[in-house]
């Protein structure tokens, strides 16, 4: 964050860093200076970008600097949500000094992740996506990024901690790897690499009260949340109907929705998708990036492998309409909440339980239940009043587990025994009232519950109390309008 009076100075520093020679003098291939680590850095440097976002208001100009890793040669970049903030566009610098504009394709604050799209991308070199399930304490790590705007900066270290948790201004993040590799402001969003040059994490934060303690989101966690984060069907408004294994080395199909365009095109569970049109698909991340290019009623050539044979088929996504609101009478402010006593390690079947307290709550907060600290569960039901047709994101932070439903559709799944963490989901909704349910349980220890919402025209915020309603009688929950 920089004020106007130092902005020009900062840009000079950035420009100077970008004009530094890209590599050292040519050396013989067998030079002892050309270590395995040097070769890893040379291979991976072209896959790292420096990101700049400028925010202007009447009082000042702020420049936000970060880093990112190229996910696909067709112009997709992975970074942190806190790097791009609310910006819809910005600039990034490649390792060869080219400066290109980007658009923010996906911003997922509950995981502090974002995906950028370079509209007119040249041929880029993507990072090699690794795994983080088998990380070892002490194994070497490399960080490449733009600390304080110094592009193409490299630091090395080791894996110094696993299964860490940290909090950013956007989210509480539990799936972190700790490294001794040095980072600073501007490193955020850049890749954490292993000794093979594979990306094993996304640099996100550091402990400012200590030295050599930095945190990265584990790449397996990125893989697992990627489908929910991209959510191309909801974001764009189409139906495709295929899911793939996000942890596999290939984009192997794991599910085909009945009656979907994917089923109509002949895709089957076990097929390995290799191309969308002429764009390569290496694994699940590529698969979901390519779904962002799909459009309703526009056919795409899909290439896939079944056994030893390669096949092609045309898939035509169909349109996805926003979910209809319902017509409901006799609604009053607030949700109807019921509290249950018991000890669980996941959300219980509330239909089999008898509540110990029932009350109307204006918002989804634990402050509404001061008498309950441990060994309880809560189910709040009613309606959410959507102000306008559009795409909405709902987010739950909870300790322990929670879920959110609109009608019978699960939008957020944050179930299980865990420390405070965030989860979210997207859905296209029509204006009006929609059946709404939040479920939560607390086993013991610390507790937390927070409900957030955002839309295209609404920045992420606590769910407004004037959006929540319940029926004043026990009659029907309403029929679609």
pLDDT in tens, 469-478: 999 865 444 4
Q: Please give the pLDDT value at position 25.
A: 58
Q: Which CATH number fits domain 1-210: 3.40.50.720, 3.20.20.70, 2.40.10.120, 2.130.10.10?
A: 2.40.10.120
| Topology (CATH level 3) of domain 231-319 | Pdz3 Domain (2.30.42)
Q: Determine the Cα–Cα distance for residues 71 and 77; give it in Å rounded to an integer.
A: 5
Q: Please give the pLDDT value at position 29.
A: 78
Q: Which residues pair with 410 in a beta bridge?
A: 405
Q: Determine the Cα–Cα distance for residues 138 and 158; give it in Å rounded to an integer.
A: 5
Residue ranges of the chain whose pLDDT lies below 70: 1-25, 473-481
| Topology (CATH level 3) of domain 326-480 | Jelly Rolls (2.60.120)
The distance of Cα 150 from the centroid of its chain, to the nearest Å, equals 26
| Range list of β-strands (E), 76-152 | 76-79, 89-93, 99-108, 113-117, 128-129, 140-145
pLDDT in tens, 184-193: 888 999 999 9
pLDDT in tens, 397-440: 999 999 999 999 999 999 999 989 999 999 999 999 999 999 99
Would 1-210 and 326-480 be classified into the same CATH topology? no
Q: Please give the pLDDT value at position 228.
A: 96
Task: List the chain domain ranges.
Answer: 1-210, 231-319, 326-480
Helix (H, G, I), strand (E, B) or coil at 414: strand
Q: Determine the Cα–Cα distance for residues 217 and 435; give it in Å rounded to an integer.
A: 34
Q: Which residues pair with 433 in a beta bridge?
A: 326, 385
Cβ(182)–Cβ(214) below 8 Å: yes
Q: Determine the Cα–Cα distance for residues 227 and 234; give it in Å rounded to an integer.
A: 11
Q: Please give the pLDDT value at position 233.
A: 97
Q: Determine the Cα–Cα distance for residues 452 and 464; give it in Å rounded to an integer.
A: 9
Q: Determine the Cα–Cα distance for residues 377 and 89; give it in Å rounded to an integer.
A: 43
Listed in sequence order, the DSSP H helices in 62-112 are 81-84
Listed in sequence order, the residues at least 6 apart from 426 whose beta carbon sits closer than 8 Å to its beta carbon are 228, 231, 234, 235, 391, 392, 393, 394, 411
């Amino acid at each position: 964050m920089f004020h106007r009076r130092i902005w020009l100075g900062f840009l000079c520093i950035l420009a100077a860093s970008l004009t530094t020679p890209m590599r050292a003098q040519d050396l013989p291939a067998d030079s002892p200076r050309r270590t395995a680590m040097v070769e890893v850095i040379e291979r991976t440097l072209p896959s790292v970008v420096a990101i700049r976002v400028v925010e202007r208001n009447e009082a000042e100009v702020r420049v936000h600097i970060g880093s990112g890793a190229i996910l696909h040669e067709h112009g997709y970049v992975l970074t942190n949500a806190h790097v791009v903030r609310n910006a819809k566009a910005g600039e990034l610098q490649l390792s060869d000094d080219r400066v290109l504009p980007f658009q923010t394709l996906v911003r997922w604050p509950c995981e502090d992740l974002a995906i950028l799209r370079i509209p007119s991308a040249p041929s880029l070199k993507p990072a090699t996506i690794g795994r983080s399930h088998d990380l070892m304490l002490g194994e070497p790590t490399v960080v490449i990024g733009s600390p304080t705007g110094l592009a193409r900066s490299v630091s090395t270290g080791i894996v110094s901690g696993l299964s860490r948790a940290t909090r950013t201004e956007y989210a509480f993040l539990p799936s972190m790897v700790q490294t001794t590799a040095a980072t600073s402001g501007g490193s955020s969003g850049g890749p954490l690499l292993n000794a093979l040059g594979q990306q094993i994490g996304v640099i996100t934060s550091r402990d400012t009260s200590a030295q050599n303690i930095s945190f990265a989101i584990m790449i397996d966690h990125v893989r697992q949340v990627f489908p929910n984060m991209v959510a191309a069907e909801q974001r764009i408004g189409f139906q495709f109907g295929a899911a793939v294994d996000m942890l596999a080395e290939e984009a192997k199909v794991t599910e085909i929705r009945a009656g979907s365009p994917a089923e109509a095109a002949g895709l089957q569970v076990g097929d390995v998708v290799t191309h969308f049109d002429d764009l390569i698909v290496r694994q699940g991340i590529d698969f979901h990036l390519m779904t962002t290019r799909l459009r309703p009623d526009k056919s795409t050539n899909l290439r896939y492998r079944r056994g030893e044979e390669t096949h092609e088929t045309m898939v035509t996504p169909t349109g996805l309409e926003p979910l209809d609101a319902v017509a409901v009478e006799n609604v009053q402010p607030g949700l109807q909440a019921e509290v249950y006593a018991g000890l669980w390690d996941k959300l219980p079947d509330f239909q089999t339980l008898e509540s110990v307290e029932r009350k109307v709550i204006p918002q989804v907060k634990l402050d509404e239940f001061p008498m309950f600290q441990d060994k309880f569960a809560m189910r709040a039901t009613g309606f959410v009043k959507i102000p306008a047709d559009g795409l909405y994101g709902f987010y739950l932070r909870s300790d322990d587990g929670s879920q959110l439903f609109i009608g019978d559709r699960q939008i957020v799944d944050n179930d299980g025994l865990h420390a405070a963490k965030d989860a979210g989901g997207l859905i296209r909704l029509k204006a009006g009232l929609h059946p709404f349910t939040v479920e939560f349980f607390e086993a013991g220890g610390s507790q937390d519950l927070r409900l957030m919402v955002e839309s295209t025209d609404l920045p992420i915020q606590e769910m407004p109390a004037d959006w929540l309603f319940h029926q004043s009688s026990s009659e029907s929950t309403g029929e679609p309008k």
